[in-house]
Amino acid sequence: MQYFTNRSRMRRQCVPYITFLLIAGILSAMTLHSASAQVRLETPIVPSKSLQGNPLNDPSNRKIAVFLPPQYDNAAVLPVVYYLPGFGGSPDDAIRDADIWKNSVQNLVDAAAPVVIVVIDGRTRWSCSQYINSPAQGKYADYIAKDVVAFVESHYRVAHGPANRIIAGHSSGGFGALRLGYAYPKIFGHVVALAPDCDFNISQLPLVSGDDAKLYPLDKVRALTPIQSGPTYAMALAAAYSPLGKKHPGQVDWLYDAQHQFRPTVWRRWMANDPLEIVRKHHAAFKHTRNVYLDGGVHDEFHANIGAQKIANVLQGRSVRSFFYEAPGGHMDFLMDRIERGVTWALRN
């Protein structure tokens, strides 16, 4: 009987505490919801002259996702983060996960780094353009650096100039951020490259060495549609890195010959696009960029952390303001936290 009496007393004592925890949890959830509700999402269509008539007949008018923090509605003129998703990613993903993105924008506000975030569509028939110009796919670098930036700055009250533009991305998007930052230093003053495709010999070559690539005849590859199976990843990279040439729009130089043998001459063309090789060979690379932030997960499945750290080491040796952060987890882990960390570092340095 004493047991039941003590148990009842403990239950009565616990009720107020449990009630407190429940209320605290509800208030915390309400705070998060309120914070994200203050951030607005808009999804305008950007008409692109750069992508008109592209050889893959992909759409030239593209939707972007624009996340506006509360300060925007208070007439603040804010810097802009142009974010490039990873392979196959698009603004549709950010729109679907809008609350997650809104919370990240609010976290940046709370860290005294309010920004407008613009998520960009760089998809092609083969899933991803790698965000560079190529006669085998179209002018995706020009689309971003010229069309998207011009559209945002003419339709939104944002700060202009390279000091107020951050080009950021993850994986393929991290590659794109490095390439755009390198090619357009007068447009993008800051680069945030998260787990970027780089150091191709260890990060990319294993991914395009399987039978799904080497055993595909090139004519069969070219006949594929986006919904059919096949070496889509290898084809996307070939369209970006080894186009057949301006006289052969939409066509690529394949990594394997008719006997399924690897072609080193074509691989050298791929390597010429590797951000690590570009930084090593071009001593002026990022010389006029304000900040270059790189990261990679300590357990990155594709070893993107290794190449990213090598790039940071080269840049730091040349007194380019750069930083490498080895994030916990793998390639995709804690991505929103990593975006926030990179953007905050860029704005504070």
pTM: 0.88
% of residues, the chain, pLDDT over 90: 77
Tell me which of 15 and 339 has the higher pLDDT. 339
Mean pLDDT of 248-268: 90
pLDDT for the residue 232? 81
- Give the mean model confidence (pLDDT) for residues 199-216: 88
User: What is the structure's pLDDT at 1?
Assistant: 37
User: Is residue 147's pLDDT more than 50?
Assistant: yes
Contact call for residues 213 and 260 (beta carbons, < 8 A): no
pLDDT in tens, 154-164: 999 999 999 99
- The lowest-confidence range among 13-22, 25-34, 293-302 is 13-22
- Say whether pLDDT at 184 is over 50: yes
Q: Contact 224/232 with Cβ under 8 angstroms?
A: yes
Q: What is the mean pLDDT of residues 57-75?
A: 96
Who wins on pLDDT, 210 or 142? 142
Cα–Cα distance measured from residue 338 to residue 334, given in angstroms and rounded to the nearest whole number: 6
* pLDDT recorded at residue 221: 64
Please give the residue that has the higher pLDDT: either 176 or 221: 176
- Report which of residues 14 and 63 the model is more confident about: 63
Q: What is the pLDDT of residue 228?
A: 46
Task: Give mean pLDDT, residues 232-257.
Answer: 91
pLDDT in tens, 67-103: 999 999 998 899 999 999 999 999 999 999 999 999 9
pLDDT for 94-133, tens place per residue? 999 999 999 999 999 999 999 999 999 999 999 999 999 9
